[in-house]
Amino acid sequence: MTYAYYPGCSLKGTAIDYHTSALALAERLGIELKEMEDWVCCGASPIHQRNPALASGVANLLLSLSEGISKDVAVLCAACYHNMKKAEVEMREDGKKRNEVEELSGIPFNPEVRTRHFLDILDKDYGLNALKEKVVKPLSELRVACYYGCLLSRPPEIAFDDPEQPMIMERILEAAGAETVSWSHRLECCGASHAVPLTDAVLRLVNDVLASARDAGADIIACACPLCQANLDMRQEGIRAKLGVAHNLPAVYFTQLLGIACGATGKQVMIEKGMVSAVPLLRAKNLL
Amino acid sequence: MSDRTDKIREVARKWLADGTVEAVVGWEQGTYREKCSPVLVRKPEDADRLLFNDRCTNNLMTYLKRDPVRGMEKVGVVAKGCDIKSLIGLLQESQVEREKVMVLAVTCEGVKKDDGTVPIKCQACDVNTPTFYDEIVGEKVASNPDPEARFKDLEKLDAMTPAERNSFWREELDKCIRCYACRQACPLCICSRCIAEKNQPQWVETSPHPRGNFSWNLVRAYHLAGRCVECEACETACPVNIPLMLLNRAMARTVKGAFDYEAGKDPEVQPPLRTFNLDDDNSFIL
Amino acid sequence: MPHMTLDRTDLPSLAEALAGQGRRLVLPVREGQELFYREGADPAQLDLSSIPKNSIKEFLFPKCEKILEYEYSGNDVIIEDVAPDAKPTVIFCARPCDAASLPVVEPLWNWDYKDKFFNERREQTLVVTYACRTAPDEACFCVSVGLSPSSDQGSDVMLYGVDESTVAVRLVSPKGQEQEEVFAKFKKGEASDEALEGFAKEGDESLAHRKPLDKVKGWLEEHFEDPLWEDKAFRCIGCGTCTFLCPTCHCFDIQDESVFDAGCRLKNWDGCQFSLFTLHTSGHNPRDTQPKRYRQRIYHKYAIYPEKFGKTLCTGCGRCVAYCPVNLSLYDVVATAQERAEKGE
Amino acid sequence: MSKIGVFVCHCGENISRTVDCARVAKASGQIRGVAVAKDYKYMCSDPGQALIKNAIKEHKLDGVVVSACSPHMHEKTFRKAVTEAGLNQFLCEMANIREHCSWVHEKEEPTTRKAIELVRLMVEKVKRNMALEPIRVDVTKRALVIGGGVAGIQAALDIADGGHEVILVEKDPSVGGHMAQLSETFPTLDCSQCILTPKMVDVGSHPNIKLYTYSEVEKIEGFVGNFKVTIKKKARSVDIDKCTGCGECQLKCPSKKIPSEFDRGLKNRTAIYIPFPQAVPARPVIDREHCIYFTKGKCKACQKVCPTEAVDFEQTDEYVEEEVGGIVVATGFDLYTTDKQGPYPDYKGYGEYGYGEDPDIIDGLQFERLASASGPTGGAIQRPSDGKEPKSVVFLQCIGSRHPSKGIEFCSKICCMYTAKHTMLYKHKVHHGTAYVFYMDIRAPGKGYDEFVRRAIEEDGAVYLRGRVSRIYRSGDHLIVKGADTLSGAAVEIEADMVVLATAVMPQPGIEGLFQKLGISYDQYKFASEAHPKLRPVECATAGIFLAGACQGPKDIPESVAQASAAASKALILFSRDQMLREPVVAKVNENTCIACWYCVEICPFTAISKKDIRDRQGNLIKRVAEVNPSLCTGCGTCAATCFSNSIDLDGFTDEQIYSEINSLMAVGQDLFPEPEKAEGDSPDEKAA
Amino acid sequence: MSESPQSETQKDGAGLPEAATSWEPRIVAFICNWCTYTGADLAGTSRMKYPPYVRVIKIPCTGRFDPLFMIKAFERGADGVLVSGCHPGDCHYTAGNYNARRKYTVFKALLETLGMDMDRVWFSWISASEGGKWVDTIRKFTEVIQEKGPFREYREMIDVG
């Protein structure tokens, strides 16, 4: 199983733990994530506001880089996925749009190439049964709130699960032995785009998400988006200071939890990187 | 090849001896050049007349709809993968009852035409090892169809202007002598009374003049659209060398494109002109 | 008597010269893998490498011919005769078996009714035959019906390719002799009768394996019901290729084609291999199975026609053997009859 | 030689203004086979018709062409006229030289020529017309009504009152359907059961109605006027003749925790149960899936307590055959489920709303039960989780409906009205409560409907918010409903005690199986299809089968009842004669040349073609051929055009007729290679002049 | 009614126009009884105008249309053939037009392969309410045929025999 891997810029920077843990997990599962050469930033999130055609052009360029590796481009970042998948679907279905983009990017669109989120790959290609077999350290007794955020499953045209009620992350983490909680704010926006200009609003949004997860009895939040994770993790200090609520609820990547379940060490999945450390919790559950 | 010949004889002998079938239709050695010839074997001791080689070009399914085979309780028929496509067509159209036919399939690397060349159907063959049969002989032969082969000849037609195509066909069809060898050879021309032989009213004029020839060849191709399995028997039989397969393949390409259908694949599927989809192409209708 | 010789390379010019007298020109040319006699073909394309797939029949007895026209006028029908559209014709480099078919079918067209369509064409056709030195195809069996690869039956002029560059001319009929001047223009030398003798010998030798079929008629008369017919004719698919390519088969069908208030009567080729050929209006069909129809063809050629006209309705051209799509060889069938007759079976 | 009469009408000046009618008549007279040709001012007038009738007698005509207006206008008139003169009506045809000629062309030479050609075309057709007789089909004057909801009840009662026997088949243990579950009905707010129950009783006791409850249609054979129906009576385990309906068995049944279907799970029932007190028949049935005796082999408490020994554990499914002439399909609807466990696995649910997880999120029918005086709460509005009176209720419309991404595009039609009703019922019982409604559009086009919605808003103070809800989640004692009010542009968050979802109206799950047995078509959602959306809205394309109620599409009660009566009247029309007469434009098979490829059988939309065995006297099969049932054939001719052996022809439009029509267009002596005329003048009138 | 039915008007001397003296387009239209025929009636009752060169042959449904009809029409000298019926979903017989559409698709491709002039073969859906569409269609078709002239390629074939 080889996929053309597009990390995107966050995963080489702030979300290096996502990148590292995903590779560690993939290696243990026998999935090859082969990084495409010469990739560039996908342009999320300002580009499609400024120039939608250019956004699609960049996506087309990125998709074309998969040639010689695989027809499936594996993506981890929700924003990258959103941007590329949307362009891909549009080009496949709208001949006019496709011509426009091809002209702009000077690259022919290959309708066989598909953007795939890593969750989707684990669920459909790898399979939950195969995954279960690789679990050496079940995440038992860990109560996980799976957080999708607003981008990962929307709009319906690009969704790989029910856009309003996705359960894919739950399925996967349950396969790894975790207990998942049913909670209300799993698809709410964390406000990441407004993190800088409207920090106060963002604090409130994040607080709602965290409170909802805590109320549902979660020990930890699993994310699949670098912006969400960063926001949920590092805003907790601000929330304590400004709103007087101390959540102390670790927010990590699903790949980190799965990596540990499949036998990776905490270091290998960079679990210590979080500001609200998950280490004590995981130690307590005998997972580290 | 000789190995397959032996096995065909063995199975045929067994079927005839134990009463599985009344007779077996197969090929025997012909007498002109290397040609083979269809034969009906009724007795176990005659099974040794049967053989298989790369000159076994005849599509024996055409005999299933003819006397005396038609009236038999059960008959064996030796068949290449391409011939079985015709059988599937006959089954779809209820012309043959499956339980009355024992298919003795034979794997095939491809046959040769009388002039020694390889027919297009063999270049494009995806059934070198048949999958629909009662018994099969021969080592498995992998199919390696040339995806271009099937419709390659159509390119020259496509490249012509309509007027050029029209004069091309006028010239070809003017040769027609209305012997109906194409129809007789075709395993799927199943009508007991062909439309060309009905004269009240006479939709298709029987005289071999340009107008009669045009409408006959048009109707033949139309009635085989979505049904023709491209066995090439018509073109082979044509005594005046009309390139009938160009028409048949043009129809096959249309049916594939418009209805995503290929004849001779699945006996359970509806032939395209026996059904419809609500969202069939409507773009050409005002 | 010596015969004039020509350069083989002059054959196209000769053809043109013969046609130049207002004749339509028919000659064999190559189309794909096979040769065909074609009207109006370029003489430069003349191809003598093998025996053409079609016979010369269609130039005397076309596949479709209008024989009368009619029109309604009030309650009456006005019938108008149509004159044959016969044109002076030269068939250049016919094969001996094709030329020989003409005297075979002539009595048929002049039996109780004299067919002006055939006769006028025959009258106006000059047959220039190119002799076969040896049998040009495996299917040939002219020797079996009393002909030979260099037979001059039915020919007006015989051409003999005596060597690679030279063609000898023999003017056979008065019609041929009338053309002497035209041939003389191309004369390059002379050849003796002896020079042509090799043809008969080599021709017969090349077909030494073919049996005479002299006992077939007698055998047929005794074996109308015989398992042979079922066994051989099982494979026959009734395509009619044999009859349509045959130089001697001559059956036709009469069709009236009318449009609204007027129409015409057409004479079209037909064949005894078709079930419709003998189908009665009542629905009864005396020859209701393919073996019966196949048997009929053999009987007509080897028993009925000889009985009636004293000639075998076959020139052994072998087209029915070579082009039968199911390889049902007429020769095999009649040879089997001959063999069985010889054995007294 | 034919003797055709051609009668050219001037239609006052309507035709003669642009067509030279006299010339048309004269030219027609010269067509071979035309015995007489006349023109006249008004052919459809009495003298005009008399002219035709006299000519038929005088010239012994064997065919008539009336060259006048469209056959859609006067074909019946002239066919009647020729019948009166002793000619078969199908030997009369019309050449349309008014709508298709004089009215649409200028007065010029080609116009008259066209008229002549149109006549000639029809003359050639009529020469080949056959005398046809209308097809007569015997009619069994009994009806089958499938479904015992209000539509089925109404159709059954109407037909029965019309004097014909009715077989009413209901799959549930009682008739009544969804209407029996409703509390009050819009827009009058009268009690649903009060108006329905008398009809249920009537159905149970009507001498002309044979009621099969807890039964299903197993098989249907035959065709219009002559259906044979096999009905499966499911084992009820109770002999309803012996049973008195006393209810003792229900009291003693130890298996008491089964969610009641009738109360939509808001109340429990026993394993032996009468679905609701007003049930017809008021006889219990044993639910074998939950019965302790049937699951564990021991108990029989009901049998022991039954005073009439009516409980019969040995009962098995029984099959009965009934012969009927017409069928009314009234299988009704069910609600789209909002969780994924429901009966419509093809559709995505509304997991994000939490239906099925949170007990205080309910659907419209559950609310009906809560509001019903006979319901689990006796009509008090109490939320299911703890029985508290909800202080605020949020109603969501269009749950499923008009939501393409959930797979349904249609409008369920009744939700706007019943939601308004719900808010009223709620407000009338909980005076201080607040009812919120999230809607997309308000659709209230009916008598008194819009006024009703206005009343809910203006008098009862329901808060209508135009927008959709993104999420509902529990926060302590409340449900938080997050949505958008698109009129104010604000995001809204409402603390609710209960949420009611107006879910889409869907056909009964799996109903397509029945439709296939009936041979009727259905749409992508499995709603039954009518023969024509405007002109034949209650008939199926298959003759003798009629539709009533929501099986055809979402409908409210008045519509369902109206359609049921319409379907009943269609059945009564069918039963009004001993024999039906049908247009003899039907297909016929040439058995000599039919090759039994069954293209026609597959392609016929009316299942009018079947496979027939031809046998010799010893009964040996000689061949199989297609056979057209003239009672079912509607004469579209698709089979004739599809048959490649040309073995099917269509009376009235035979190959011979069409061939002759085409032939007539080739004028004799016409120059086949004329030069196109170059236009010289601009005015076409010049040419005519 | 004063005029007696027997006093039929008979003008003498009018030449009988069996055939046009110069070429006129010959358009044959096979149209279904329920939609297009009624649509053409509507064009009449609305007094819309179109050129008089179309000859209508009524069939019950486009499902009845056999491609042989079209070929015969060309054999009889048609310069253009139109086939028209109910829009998809409107068929009086529910499915005739869907079946017809498949036949059109296949037959059209066959004619194209044979190099027929496809400007002379038109298909349309015209409903009973689309009198205007009928008029537009016939007008445009007539214009095209007038532009192209007689269908010589086909007429050459007719001339034999």
Tell me if B117 is assigned to some domain: yes
Q: What CA–CA distance (Å, rounded) separates C65 from C70?
A: 15
Residue C285's pLDDT band (cuts 50, 70, 90): very high
Q: Is the pLDDT of residue C128 over 60?
A: yes
Examine the domain organization and report whether A109 and A59 are in the same domain. yes
Chain D CB within 8 Å of residue C208 CB: no
Between C196-210, C306-320, D246-260, D374-388, the lowest mean confidence (pLDDT) is in: C196-210
Tell me if B280 is assigned to some domain: no
Examine the domain organization and report whether B121 and B164 are in the same domain. no
- Residues D590-648 have pLDDT tens digits of 999 999 999 999 999 888 899 999 999 999 988 999 999 988 888 999 999 999 999 99
Q: What CA–CA distance (Å, rounded) separates B39 from B41?
A: 6
Class at the top of the CATH hierarchy for domain D587-651? alpha beta
Find the domain containing B208 and state its range.
153-274
Chain E CB within 8 Å of residue B221 CB: yes
Tell me if A32 is assigned to some domain: yes
CB atoms within 10 A of CB D343: 13
User: Is there a shared CATH topology between the D142-214+326-332+508-582 domain and the D335-505 domain?
Assistant: yes
CATH number at residue E107: 3.40.50
* C-alpha distance from D32 to closest chain C C-alpha (Å): 7
What pLDDT score was predicted for residue A173? Answer: 96
Chain D CB within 8 Å of residue E11 CB: yes
What pLDDT score was predicted for residue D456? Answer: 96
> End-to-end distance of chain C based on CA atoms, in angstroms?
49
Residue D685's pLDDT band (cuts 50, 70, 90): very low
Q: Is the pLDDT of residue D85 over 60?
A: yes
What pLDDT score was predicted for residue E11? Answer: 35
Instruction: State percent of chain B over pLDDT 70.
Output: 99
Q: What CA–CA distance (Å, rounded) separates E65 from E57?
A: 11
CB contact under 8 A, C260 and D1: no
Examine the domain organization and report whether B195 and B227 are in the same domain. yes
Closest to A160 measured CA to CA, from A192, A118, A207: A118
Find the domain containing A75 and state its range.
2-119
What pLDDT score was predicted for residue A200? Answer: 87
Q: What CA–CA distance (Å, rounded) separates C258 from C269?
A: 19
Examine the domain organization and report whether B11 and B123 are in the same domain. yes
Q: What's the ipTM?
A: 0.72
What is the DSSP secondary-structure string of D285-301? EE-TTT-HHHHHS---H
CB contact under 8 A, C255 and B177: no
Residue D667's pLDDT band (cuts 50, 70, 90): low
Residue ranges of chain B whose CB lies within 8 Å of a chain D CB: 93-95, 190-195, 198, 200-203, 223, 270-271, 273-275
What pLDDT score was predicted for residue E20? Answer: 56
What pLDDT score was predicted for residue A113? Answer: 93
More confident residue, D541 or D651: D651
Do the chains E and A touch each other, judged by at least 3 C-beta pairs below 8 angstroms?
Answer: no
More confident residue, C137 or C260: C137
Q: Is the pLDDT of residue E15 over 50?
A: no
Q: Where are the alpha helices (DSSP H) in A41-166?
A: 47-50, 52-64, 78-93, 95-105, 118-120, 128-134
Tell me if E87 is assigned to some domain: yes
pTM for the whole thing?
0.69
Say if CB D388 and CB A213 are below 8 A apart.
no
What pLDDT score was predicted for residue B1? Answer: 57
Examine the domain organization and report whether A112 and A165 are in the same domain. no
Select from E35, E38, E55, E69 the residue whose CB has the most chain D CBs within 10 Å, as the one to mutate to test that interface: E55
Amino acid code (one letter) for A24: A
Element (H, E) at D168: strand D165-169
What pLDDT score was predicted for residue E3? Answer: 39
Instruction: State percent of chain C over pLDDT 70.
Output: 100
What is the DSSP secondary-structure string of D82-137? HHHTT--GGGEEEEE-IIIIITTS-SSHHHHHHHHHHHHHHHHHHHT------EEE
The count of structural domains within chain B is: 2
CB contact under 8 A, B218 and E99: no
Tell me the count of A-D CB pairs closer than 8 A: 25
Tell me if A211 is assigned to some domain: yes
**Which C residues in the span 259-318 are in contact with E, Cβ-Cβ below 8 Å?**
259, 264, 266
Q: What CA–CA distance (Å, rounded) separates D189 from D166?
A: 32
More confident residue, E20 or E71: E71
Q: Using the CB atoms, write b or e for D463-502: b if 16+ within 10 Å.
A: bbbebbbebbbbeeebbbbbbbeeeeeeeeebebbbbbbb
Say if CB B144 and CB B123 are below 8 A apart.
no
Residue C197's pLDDT band (cuts 50, 70, 90): confident
* C-alpha distance from D654 to closest chain B C-alpha (Å): 10
What pLDDT score was predicted for residue E14? Answer: 38
Examine the domain organization and report whether B240 and B128 are in the same domain. no
Examine the domain organization and report whether A169 and A201 are in the same domain. yes
What pLDDT score was predicted for residue E159? Answer: 65
Helix-helix angle A95-105:A52-64, to 10 degrees: 70
Distances (CA, A) of C308 to C104, C105, C106, C293, D652: 12, 12, 13, 20, 53
- Residues D304-353 have pLDDT tens digits of 999 999 999 999 999 999 999 999 999 999 998 766 555 666 676 777 88
Instruction: State percent of chain D over pLDDT 90.
Output: 76
More confident residue, B193 or D519: B193
Examine the domain organization and report whether B76 and B28 are in the same domain. yes
Identify whether D676 is preceded by a cis peptide bond (ω within 30 of 0). no
Q: Is the pLDDT of residue D521 over 80?
A: no
Q: Is the pLDDT of residue C168 over 60?
A: yes
CB contact under 8 A, A187 and D352: yes
CB contact under 8 A, C266 and E76: no
Nearest to B215 among E75, E113, E161 (CB): E75
Examine the domain organization and report whether B259 and B207 are in the same domain. yes
CB contact under 8 A, E116 and B166: yes
The count of structural domains within chain E is: 1
CB atoms within 10 A of CB C20: 12
Say if CB D397 and CB D437 are below 8 A apart.
yes
CB contact under 8 A, E161 and C259: no
CB contact under 8 A, C325 and B206: no
CATH 3.40.50.720 fits D142-214+326-332+508-582, yes or no: no
The rounded mean pLDDT for chain D is: 90
CATH 3.30.1330.90 fits D335-505, yes or no: no
**Which E residues in the span 79-138 are in contact with D, Cβ-Cβ below 8 Å?**
91-96, 99-100, 103, 135
Q: Is the pLDDT of residue C52 over 90?
A: yes
What pLDDT score was predicted for residue E113? Answer: 94
Q: What CA–CA distance (Å, rounded) separates D238 from D75?
A: 61
The rounded mean pLDDT for chain E is: 83
More confident residue, D50 or E92: D50
Residue E16's pLDDT band (cuts 50, 70, 90): very low
Tell me if B279 is assigned to some domain: no
Average pLDDT over residues B109-118: 89
Between A195-199, B91-95, B138-142, C148-152, the lowest mean confidence (pLDDT) is in: A195-199
Examine the domain organization and report whether A74 and A180 are in the same domain. no
Per-residue pLDDT of chain A (288 residues; tens, 9 = 90+): 899 999 999 999 889 999 999 999 999 999 999 999 999 999 886 787 788 888 899 999 999 999 999 999 999 999 999 999 999 999 988 888 898 999 888 899 998 999 999 999 999 999 999 999 999 999 998 999 999 998 898 888 899 998 888 999 999 999 999 999 989 899 988 988 787 788 888 999 999 999 999 999 999 999 999 999 999 999 999 999 999 999 999 999 999 999 999 999 999 999 999 999 999 999 999 998
Say if CB A155 and CB A162 are below 8 A apart.
no
What pLDDT score was predicted for residue D336? Answer: 86
Q: What CA–CA distance (Å, rounded) separates D550 from B171?
A: 62
Q: Which residue in chain C is spatially nearest to B236 when comparing CA positions?
A: C325
Tell me the count of C-D CB pairs closer than 8 A: 18
Q: Is the pLDDT of residue E6 over 70?
A: no
Q: Is the pLDDT of residue D683 over 90?
A: no
Q: Which residue in chain E is spatially nearest to D98 when comparing CA positions?
A: E44
Residue D576's pLDDT band (cuts 50, 70, 90): very high
The rounded mean pLDDT for chain B is: 92
- Domain endpoint, select from B83, B105, B137: B137
Tell me the count of D-E CB pairs closer than 8 A: 209
Q: Using the CB atoms, write b or e for E42-64: b if 16+ within 10 Å.
A: bbbeeebebbbbbbbbbbbbbbb
Tell me if B142 is assigned to some domain: no
Chain D CB within 8 Å of residue E147 CB: no
Chain E CB within 8 Å of residue B206 CB: no
Average pLDDT over residues D225-242: 94
Beta bridge partners of D238: D311
* C-alpha distance from C66 to closest chain E C-alpha (Å): 6
Residues of E with Cβ-Cβ distance to C257 under 8 angstroms: 161
Tell me if A18 is assigned to some domain: yes
Distances (CA, A) of B56 to A62, B78, B138, D77: 54, 10, 15, 68
Q: Is the pLDDT of residue D536 over 90?
A: no
Instruction: State percent of chain B over pLDDT 90.
Output: 80
The rounded mean pLDDT for chain C is: 91
Give all chains having 3 or more CB-to-CB distances under 8 Å with chain B: C, D, E
What pLDDT score was predicted for residue D405? Answer: 78
Find the domain containing E45 and state its range.
27-150
CATH number at residue A270: 3.40.50.11810
Average pLDDT over residues D534-559: 91
**Which C residues in the span 42-81 are in contact with E, Cβ-Cβ below 8 Å?**
64, 66
Structure letter (DSSP) for residue D339: S
- Residues C237-264 have pLDDT tens digits of 999 999 999 999 999 999 988 887 788 8
Examine the domain organization and report whether A85 and A163 are in the same domain. no
Q: What are phi and psi of C329, to 5 degrees?
A: -90, 120
- Residues C79-124 have pLDDT tens digits of 999 998 889 999 999 999 999 999 999 999 998 889 999 999 999 9
- Residues D428-446 have pLDDT tens digits of 999 999 999 999 999 999 9
The count of structural domains within chain A is: 2
Question: What kind of fold does domain D4-132+668-688 have according to CATH?
Answer: Rossmann fold (3.40.50)
Q: Where are the domains of chain D?
A: 4-132+668-688, 142-214+326-332+508-582, 335-505, 587-651
Tell me if A126 is assigned to some domain: no
What pLDDT score was predicted for residue C315? Answer: 95
Examine the domain organization and report whether B198 and B258 are in the same domain. yes
* C-alpha distance from A171 to closest chain D C-alpha (Å): 15
Residue D522's pLDDT band (cuts 50, 70, 90): confident
Between B177-186, C310-319, D108-117, D161-170, the lowest mean confidence (pLDDT) is in: D108-117
CB contact under 8 A, B236 and C325: yes
